[in-house]
Amino acid sequence: MTDAVIAELRVTRHRAPLVRPWGADVRTIDVVEVDVETRDGREGTGFSWTPTIGSAAVAALLENDIREWAIGRPADARKLWPLLWAHLHEAGSGGITTIAMAGLDLALWDLESRVHGASLSEHLGAKRSRVAAYGSGVNLHYSLDELRAQAGRWAAAGYSAVKMKVGRPEDAARVAAVREIVGDDVALMLDANQRWTLRQAERALHELEQFNPAWIEEPLRADDLASHVRLRESIRTPIAIGENLHTIYRFREAIDIGACDIIQPNVVRVGGITPFLEIAALAVERDVTLRPHLLPEISGQLALALTAETEVERVEGAGFAELGLLTDDGPVVFDGASMTSAGSSGLGVHFSERFVLSN
Cβ pair 72, 5 in contact under 8 A: yes
pLDDT digits (tens, 9 = 90+) for 25-53: 889 999 999 999 999 999 999 999 998 79
Residue type, 128: R
Residue 48 exposed, middle or buried by CB count within 10 Å (0-12, 13-18, 19+):
buried
- pLDDT at residue 2 greater than cutoff 80: no
**pLDDT number for residue 3:** 80
**pLDDT number for residue 358:** 80
Q: What is the mean pLDDT of residues 260-275?
A: 98
pLDDT digits (tens, 9 = 90+) for 126-147: 999 999 999 999 999 999 999 9
Those residues with Cβ within 8 angstroms of residue 177's Cβ, 6 or more apart along the chain or in another chain: 144, 147, 148, 151
> Active-site residue 293, yes or no?
yes
**pLDDT number for residue 1:** 54
Which domains, from first to last, does the chain contain? 6-115 (3.30.390.10), 122-341 (3.20.20.120)
**pLDDT number for residue 161:** 98
Please give the model's pTM, rounded to 2 decimal places.
0.96
**pLDDT number for residue 140:** 96
Q: Binning pLDDT at 50, 70 and 90, where does residue 359 land?
A: low
* Element (DSSP H or E) covering residue 179: helix 171-182
Cβ pair 255, 282 in contact under 8 A: yes
Q: In this predicted structure, which of 2-11, 149-158, 193-202 has the lowest mean pLDDT?
A: 2-11
| Active-site residue identified among 123, 228, 246, 293 | 293
pLDDT digits (tens, 9 = 90+) for 207-218: 999 999 999 999
**pLDDT number for residue 175:** 98
Coil vs helix vs strand at 168? coil
Mean of all residue pLDDT scores within the chain? 96
Dist CA 289 CA 264 (whole Å)? 9
- pLDDT at residue 288 greater than cutoff 70: yes
pLDDT digits (tens, 9 = 90+) for 176-209: 999 999 999 999 999 999 999 999 999 999 999 9
Strands (E), 51-160: 131-136
| Active-site residue identified among 163, 165, 228, 246 | 165
pLDDT digits (tens, 9 = 90+) for 69-124: 999 999 999 999 999 999 999 999 999 999 999 999 999 999 999 999 999 999 99
Cβ pair 81, 105 in contact under 8 A: yes
Residues of the chain above pLDDT 70, percent: 99
Dist CA 335 CA 338 (whole Å)? 5
> Active-site residue 123, yes or no?
no
Q: How many CB atoms lie within 10 A of CB 281?
A: 14
Q: How many CA atoms lie within 13 A of 62 on its CB side?
A: 33
**pLDDT number for residue 289:** 97
